[in-house]
């Protein structure tokens, strides 16, 4: 499906089977659910150009993360991270690709975890987030926000 280098290491992502993809999407939404009320502020602030509005986005994001972490265990967060990271394959020195392992491949390289998770989720759910008209939950939310913004 797609390859990407992160910090000089090559990763590969293939599409998940449909059922696994839907289950992952649902689990992510379930985890993010406690912060859903903060999502419109984050999206609107991220579309802003001023430094003040960017600061508001940062505060909203921090509050959202706080809401999420106050309602789930550390094991749930690390389990979901390991699951997402495990979708990718890493190119070993031999040239072969093997499934990524959160502990085995990222101990001492924790800064690469979020970029890899972002890559995996972009590839798995691209049609929910991009294109002329976004689909899924994000597309619906963006339509609602645009309608509210335009007053229609």
pLDDT tens digits, one per residue of 15-58: 999 999 999 988 988 887 777 777 776 666 666 677 877 787 77
Mean pLDDT, rounded, for 103-109: 96
**Burial of 132 (C-beta count, 10 Å sphere; 0-12/13-18/19+):** exposed
What pLDDT does 7 receive? 96
| Exposure of 72 in the CB half-sphere (CA atoms within 13 A) | 22
Q: Provide the pLDDT confidence category of residue 146 given band limits of 50, 70 and 90.
A: low
The structure's pTM equals 0.74
What pLDDT does 9 receive? 97
Give strand ranges (E) for the chain.
Answer: 2-6, 9-13, 88-91, 97-99
% of the chain with per-residue pLDDT over 90? 46
Structural domain including 58 reads: 2-150
If one compares 84 and 67, the residue with the highest pLDDT of the two is: 84
Q: In total, how many domains does the chain have? A: 1
């Amino acid at each position: 499906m797609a390859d990407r280098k992160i910090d000089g290491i090559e990763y590969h992502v293939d599409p998940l089977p449909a059922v696994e993809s839907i289950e992952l999407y649902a689990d992510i939404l379930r985890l993010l659910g406690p912060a859903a009320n903060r999502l419109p502020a984050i999206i609107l602030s991220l579309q802003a150009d001023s430094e003040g509005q960017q600061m508001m986005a940062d505060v909203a994001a921090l509050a959202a993360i706080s809401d999420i972490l106050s309602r789930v265990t550390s094991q749930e967060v690390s389990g979901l991270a390991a699951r997402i990271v495990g979708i990718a394959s890493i190119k070993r020195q031999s040239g072969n690709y093997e499934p990524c392992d959160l502990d085995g491949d990222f101990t001492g390289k924790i800064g690469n975890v979020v970029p890899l998770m972002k890559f995996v989720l972009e590839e798995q759910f691209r049609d929910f987030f991009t294109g002329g008209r976004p689909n899924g939950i994000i597309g619906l939310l963006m339509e609602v926000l645009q309608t509210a913004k335009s007053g229609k």
